Chain A
Amino acid sequence: MVKEIINGINVKELKNLLKEAERNPELVSKISRWTARVRWLGSSFNFKAYVRNHSFVLSEPSELGGPDLGPNAVEYVLSALGACYATGLVLNATKRGIEIRNLEIALEGEIDNILVFLGLSDKGHPGYRRIIVKAYVDADVDEKILKEIWEETVRTSPVGNTLTRHVEVETEIKVIK
């Protein structure tokens, strides 16, 4: 007998969602496009991101001359990657009927050359050169299976793929008075 709720997720509803995604291009289109808007808060390195009905503050730490009112953008990149892996792991475990007791993902990113961002150098680039991800998981299942799920998670992660593949970023600026 398959449990109705695994990892706090209704298994039947999840299966229905997967079936629907398989046959409904409109749904696929909807869950393929994401938006965000970031607004400067009018002073210092403080910004607010608006995403659907949510919002959060981004700031810079004192080392970068900011008031440290929240994580900065590169920290959000790490958090987004960690959350994406965590989401994938929960999804893939639930699909297999595996209950997870605990899951924690630790990430560490190393910027190639932060001086480029500060305008003090043109060597290298100001993006992450390397990101180290370590997932800690506790579940009543063989380590081998958890490793399989983890590999599947990494392979299919939207944020992971965004970071590891070439992404076309089109930019434009408009002056609106």
Chain B
Amino acid sequence: MSSSRPRLFPVTVVGSWPRPKWLLEALKKKRERSLSQEEFDAIADDAVLLAVKYQEDAGVDILTDGEQRRDNFYSFIADKVYGIELKSVAEIVDLVPDKSRFESILRSLDVPAYSIRNPVVVSKLKVGSRGIARDEASFLKDHTSRLIKVPLPGPYLLTRSSWVPGVTDKYYSSREELGFEYAKILREEIIALRDLGVFFVQLDEPVLSEVVYGVDQSQQTFMCAALFSRRNPREELEFAVELINNTVKGLSGIKTGVHVCRGNWSRREEILLKGDYVPLMPYLAEMKVDQLVLEFATPRAGDVEAIREYIGDKELGYGVVNPRTDDIESPQEIISKVNKVLKFMDAKKIYLNPDCGFGTFAEAPVNTPKTAFKKLRSIRIAAEELRKIYGEK
């Protein structure tokens, strides 16, 4: 559990912040190897400072670095861990067993296979000297006095996306063996982040919603999850619980959370996954983390009542604004949402955040910094009002 706690109704974010154009250019050059790591870092540092400033000004209590150094929330791991290479889907499509499903995904995303890059395990894993996010956390710690949150790709997401039969099985005998290796690596990373003073580590497992809702929906949200055959949803979810629990087992001095959403790559709500948390909650309840970071601003995620029976002692990272819309949710709307949850949850257990990041994929941010800022400010105003009502000034 956490070693310290922020004030009531802490305002936080899920992770990503829209990247400035000049950072996107730098990311592209780094990918093409025409920019060194040091040159890139100098540019990304400035972008992080901008993202931090926006969050601080909006009144965010627990902030991130906006994932500014990352291409997206999970494939950046290829830069940090030896044994993982980013391969374009076009390079591995011949190894994909269900090519027709894969084709329908490409069609729904309206992208070519060459444009999607996926981390693939191509040898034994070894974390590099910068850690998975230690370098990000160190810089952030040096430049804000606020509490820090670091999002990490979860062990199930990583296993699901980077296990490629015919390539990975030369180094790991099974998907399970790879999964437990990821759990070990992530666990060591979380300990290192705690020692750096990180307050909250969030494991991103958005693909869990694909497990329960991706089967019957033609609009696949998570390309990374769809490449290779899946087992039935129950087995997949049990595997995810086991991996998460191996990752966080016995950890202390740092808050841990799991984030599950339904995709955040388009502003067209109708092409993103749809379905409530009901089928997921029995499994999320089994995860030994402090907090569940869930989306509830989008109607696609169903009613927050879904968590009532299962939330138990866990905190809720409550998604109260939709990162993909232009309309700014009013503080009153946010307060009403919180009041609904307060019927069955302790005020101390409720954190307020957007449903997801504002720029999950570097090249496809779902909002502008200006709108993102206004949405966060609205959450902060709601939090201040709620503190007045519930006893904390």
| Bound CA–CA A80/B114 (angstroms) | 20
CB contacts (< 8 Å) of B114 on chain A: these are: 102, 104, 136, 138
Asked if A136 and B107 make an inter-chain contact with CB atoms under 8 angstroms apart, the answer reads: no
Chain A interface, number of residues (Cβ within 8 angstroms): 7
CB contacts (< 8 Å) of B111 on chain A: these are: 136
Which residue of chain A has its CB nearest to the CB of B113? A104
| Bound CA–CA A104/B90 (angstroms) | 10
Q: Is B3 an interface residue (CB 8 A)?
A: no
CB contacts (< 8 Å) of B106 on chain A: these are: 106
> Interface residues of B: mostly helix, strand, loop or mixed?
helix
Which residue of chain B has its CB nearest to the CB of A134? B110
Bitwise interface map of B from 103 to 147 toward A, beta carbon under 8 Å scored 1, else 0: 000110011111100000000000000000000000000000000
Asked if B107 and A106 make an inter-chain contact with CB atoms under 8 angstroms apart, the answer reads: yes
| Bound CA–CA A68/B106 (angstroms) | 22
Most buried by A among B107, B111, B114: B114
Closest CB of chain B to A137's CB: distance in Å? 9
CB contacts (< 8 Å) of B112 on chain A: these are: 102, 104, 106, 136
Closest CB of chain A to B268's CB: distance in Å? 18
Closest CB of chain A to B94's CB: distance in Å? 15
Within 8 A of B (CB), among A101-158: 102, 104, 106, 108, 134, 136, 138
Which residue of chain B has its CB nearest to the CB of A136? B112
Bitwise interface map of A from 56 to 75 toward B, beta carbon under 8 Å scored 1, else 0: 00000000000000000000
| Bound CA–CA A134/B108 (angstroms) | 13
Q: Which 6 pairs across A and B sit closest by C-beta, in order of nearness?
A: A136-B112, A104-B112, A102-B114, A104-B114, A104-B113, A106-B107
Which residue of chain A has its CB nearest to the CB of B111? A136
Closest CB of chain B to A65's CB: distance in Å? 18
| Bound CA–CA A136/B113 (angstroms) | 10
CB contacts (< 8 Å) of A136 on chain B: these are: 111-112, 114-115
Closest CB of chain A to B115's CB: distance in Å? 7
Closest CB of chain A to B86's CB: distance in Å? 15
CB contacts (< 8 Å) of A108 on chain B: these are: 107
| Bound CA–CA A7/B253 (angstroms) | 56
CB contacts (< 8 Å) of A138 on chain B: these are: 114-115
| Bound CA–CA A118/B23 (angstroms) | 57
Within 8 A of A (CB), among B247-285: none
| Bound CA–CA A108/B107 (angstroms) | 10
| Bound CA–CA A102/B110 (angstroms) | 16
CB contacts (< 8 Å) of B113 on chain A: these are: 104
Bitwise interface map of B from 44 to 56 toward A, beta carbon under 8 Å scored 1, else 0: 0000000000000
Which residue of chain A has its CB nearest to the CB of B114? A102
8 pairs, CB–CB < 8 Å, chain A vs chain B: A104-B113, A104-B114, A106-B106, A106-B107, A108-B107, A136-B112, A136-B114, A138-B115
